[in-house]
Amino acid sequence: MKSLTEVVMPKLAESLVSATIDRWLKQPGDSIGMYEPICEIITNKVNAEIPSTVNGKLVQILVGNGEEVPVGTPICIIETEGEADQPAEAALAAAEPVGAALPVYGSQQAAAAATPAAVEPEFEGDMRHRYSPAVQRIAAEQGVDLSAVRGTGLGGRITRKDVLAYASGSQTAAPSAVPVAPAKAEQSPVRTTGLHLSETPRIPQIEVESEIPGRGEYFIDITPIRNAIARNVKQSVTEIPHAWMMIEVDVTNLVQLRNKLKDEFKKREGVNLTYLAFVLKAVVNAVKDYPIINSTWATDKIIVKRDINISLAVGTEDSVATPVIKNADQKNIAGLAREIDDLARRGREGKLTLNDMTGGTLTVNNTGSFGSILSYPTIVYPQAVNLTFESIVKRPVVINDMIGVRSMANMCLSLDHRILDGVICGRFLQRVKENLESFSIETKLY
């Protein structure tokens, strides 16, 4: 006998209270196998797949693309073979889609206790069934079946104009995609200033949803990832009183060391030996001397973390993520280089998991990768500091009353002024400086 099973939004992490449906990977009527992904969700700036734990057929989708729902909320109904707990008609009638009058969109199932799996990179192909919240709202208001609308946006995506044109009886809608730069931009020259990008950043693809007549403006829907970034940044600057410090570091010896070792390291490990690996080693050793840096504010107490887990800022042109190097103080320079390469690569490919993004105790950001020499980073809530390593620049420097050309870099620190003050942070930055300047041609990576 057939029965109907409600699939609910699972709790994928301890702090997770809600998640956003990014897109459905199955359509109503599709068969679903055990452990087969049914939809992609976005939470904490990470894409994750929700797998099925039963075999069956997707009957109805209750939550549309772009909708944020609390943990435990039913998101779809799957028909399975077995003894029915209630008639199919009753279950379908009782299931109310999340949001007002949203149409049914796609299909597949999720498990309440499922763990997130890494997703494949977002493709630029068929986006026919990926509807923005604005499109869903207009379709519901106009009574339009989106499956009958021809999309003219990127990858066949349906825009607001397409829905309104269909509702008015027009057979075609004017193209609404804003011309963007080719996905594969021309290779730019490699900079000579320290850190540099290992590949050309992806250009964000912008789709016009609505234009203002007579004015040179247009609207862009806020993506779930951008909305998460906005929410997290607002929480940080609202709750954390930021202060800022900067120190200058002579990294001439470090540049010589890296130049000596990078080719052999690449052959041996298959990854690049970046300056960031040395920076992280210098930072974690300084944190050992000043553990209060590795803390959080808890209203009536300060919590000092024993583990040093470094959040590493990984950005593209249109988003940024902060995957975590766990127990960074237990890794040598080579191990840190491998972790940096792995997290940065998976971050650019969209393959980071929730586990990769949790547990960070302080953040290090290589803003020098895009040529910055000074920055004021936002603290990743609820951490106490965000430290940036800026671009390495050759400058004339006075040494023993003589002028010499040295490789110099700035390090900028944003701090939570509830926990930290200038004295302790100044000493911490001085220790990071000493550690970086102590690297020599004899320094070992392993």
Nearest to 366 by CA among 236, 186, 198: 198
Q: What is the DSSP letter of 129?
A: T
With tokens 């039963």, the residue in question is 54
| Residue with tokens 């490789």, as numbered in its chain | 407
Rounded CA-CA distance 104/95 in Å is 12
User: What does 307-353 look like in DSSP terms, one character per residue?
Assistant: S--EEE-EE-SS-EE--EETTGGG--HHHHHHHHHHHHHHHHHT---
Q: Strands 56-61, 74-81: parallel, antiparallel or unpaired by DSSP?
A: antiparallel
- Whether residue 87 is preceded by a cis peptide bond, meaning omega within 30 degrees of 0, is no
User: DSSP code of 404?
Assistant: E
- Count Cβ atoms within 10 A of the Cβ of residue 139 and give its class: 0-12 exposed, 13-18 middle, 19 or more buried: buried
Q: 213 — phi, psi (to 5°)?
A: -55, 135
Q: Which two tokens stand for residue 336?
A: 């840190």
Task: Find where tokens 């904490």 sit.
Answer: 44
Which has the closest alpha carbon to 276: 320, 248, 303, 314?
Answer: 314
Catalytically annotated residues = 417, 421
Q: Are 327 and 309 in contact (CB under 8 A)?
A: yes
Residue 155 DSSP code: G
Phi and psi (nearest 5°) for 402?
Answer: -125, 150
Are the C-beta atoms of residues 436 and 278 closer than 8 Å to each other?
Answer: yes
